[in-house]
Amino acid sequence: MTTTGWQSTAAWHELLAGLGELEQTFLAGDRAVEGETGVVDGYRMLATALGVGLDTYLFAEKSRPVFIETVNPFRRDRRWGGDNTDAWYSYAPLDPRRSYLVSGHRGDSVYFSLTVYNEPSPGAWSDRVIGVLNDSDLAIDEGGNFELLLAPERPADWSGPFIELADDAAVAFTRDYQADPRTGRPVTWRIEALEGADPIVRSDGATATALRSTLTWLRTMTAIVPLRLGERIDGDRLELGHNAAQVANEFADPYQVPDFNFGWSATDACYSFGSYDLGPDEALVVTHQPPTCRFWNLTTWNQFMAGHTATDGRTSLNMTTAKPNSDGTVTIVIARDRLDHPNAISTLGQPRGSLAFRWFLGDVVPARPEVRLVSRSEAPTELP
């Protein structure tokens, strides 16, 4: 105990006070959102991020780990931080001194992976990838089963897929992409700590650390979102977005994620981000040349990098659902509601927001997607 009471009591009050302060990131200042929808989305982001943060820091047990969903295409409380409608993500805490056997079944996944990240300090976002294995690295049997090992060093009797845990390893993070999440079976993930479990001791000091780590994690999240969306070029009105190098209705150049990353980014992936600003009678016509890759998709987000669920409407498109043009390119039509084109997606009535392309295991970094802003009547309705 401290002279003023329990450490966890003080940390709890700090968390509550911090939540009150964090709302100002989207209510005031140069990143203040516009309108009712923006404010509501801000509070939903805080509530979602708080839930993920508490799962990550307060309820995690490194000697009794389980994979906890962080992104789910059907859960509204797991739409955050760059989600998309095709994927399940999950998280398990790691002790770098322990060994862990990870096993599972591939289900109907078209791409899945496990990445181990570091944690520079309690609650700090990762800045380094320790190791990554995707499904092409695994020995998947005829029944779809697989297993891999995470440990400080490879055991002499283990010849299978392996990630060596560095001293700062803290997180095992899984990704599972589906052609159609409404019908596909997600990957089944299991994790077992091979050494004996620690006694369950929920101490005052450890609880205080967990609550403070959650607040640190939330503060980093709100340093990123809400995104300042690119402004349209209308006469002398021109302003670059704060978080992306493009104006509205454009994409930035695609890039490959490096091993020294920020947050839980996927080093198997290339990304290109943009934003949209659409009037009720306008549409975006996006054309891109997909590289040879395992999976790609385009999704729409709000300013908080959160999308809709897979059942809300067609707000994203992937390499399975998209119909290619005769020359192999793919044209996607985006409007506030879904127009009459095979590759049309909708923003579900939202006039402004963000756009995100991602490509996994591509043979090259893709070319920058081309965008045209047109009237709805000029939007194509057929494939060329």
Nearest-10 Cα torsion for 236, 241, 242, 244: -140
Cβ atoms of 174 and 100 within 8 Å: the answer is: no
Q: What is the pLDDT of residues 156-205, one digit of tens each?
A: 999 999 999 999 999 999 999 999 999 999 999 999 999 999 999 899 99
**Residue 300 identity:** T
The CB density around residue 40, as the number of other CB atoms within 10 Å, is 12
Asked if the model's pLDDT at residue 89 lies above 80, the reply is yes
The CATH superfamily label for domain 250-378 reads: Domain of unknown function DUF1214, C-terminal domain (2.60.120.600)
- And the tokens for 199? 């006694």
Query: What is residue 260's predicted lDDT score, i.e. its pLDDT?
Result: 73
Q: What is the pLDDT of residues 16-42, one digit of tens each?
A: 999 999 999 999 999 999 999 999 999
Instruction: Give 346's pLDDT tier (boundaries 50, 70, 90).
Output: very high
Query: What is residue 234's predicted lDDT score, i.e. its pLDDT?
Result: 57
3-state secondary structure of 18: helix
Q: What is the pLDDT of residues 40-79, one digit of tens each?
A: 999 999 999 999 999 999 999 999 999 999 999 999 999 9
HSE-up (13 A, CA, CB side) for residue 122: 13
Q: What is the pLDDT of residues 211-265, one digit of tens each?
A: 999 999 999 999 999 998 887 765 433 333 334 445 899 999 999 988 777 788 8
Q: To 5 degrees, how large is the angle CA 300–CA 354–CA 291? A: 65
Task: Give span(s): CATH 2.60.120.600, the chain.
Answer: 250-378
Could you give the C-alpha distances from 96 to 169, 305, 318, 380, in angstroms and in order? 5, 31, 36, 54
Across the chain, mean pLDDT equals: 93
Could you give the C-alpha distances from 76 to 64, 309, 312, 381, in angstroms and in order? 27, 7, 10, 32
Provide mean pLDDT across the span 332-357.
Answer: 97
Burial of residue 117, with CB atoms counted within 10 A of its CB: 0-12 exposed, 13-18 middle, 19 or more buried: buried
Task: Kindly write down the DSSP assignment for every residue of 287-333, as one continuous string.
Answer: EE-PPS-SEEEEEEE-TTS----TTT---EEETTTPPPPTTS-EEEE
Query: What is residue 236's predicted lDDT score, i.e. its pLDDT?
Result: 37
What is the spatial distance between Cα 44 and Cα 94, in angstroms, rounded to a whole number?
A: 29
Q: What is the pLDDT of residues 323-334, one digit of tens each?
A: 999 999 999 999
Query: What is residue 238's predicted lDDT score, i.e. its pLDDT?
Result: 35
Q: What is the CATH number of domain 7-223?
A: 2.60.120
Q: How many residues are recorded in the chain?
A: 384
Query: What is residue 137's predicted lDDT score, i.e. its pLDDT?
Result: 97
- And the tokens for 266? 């996927």
Q: Work out the percent of the chain whose per-residue pLDDT is above 70.
A: 95
Asked if the model's pLDDT at residue 2 lies above 70, the reply is no
Q: What is the pLDDT of residues 255-293, one digit of tens each?
A: 998 877 778 888 999 999 999 999 999 999 999 999 999
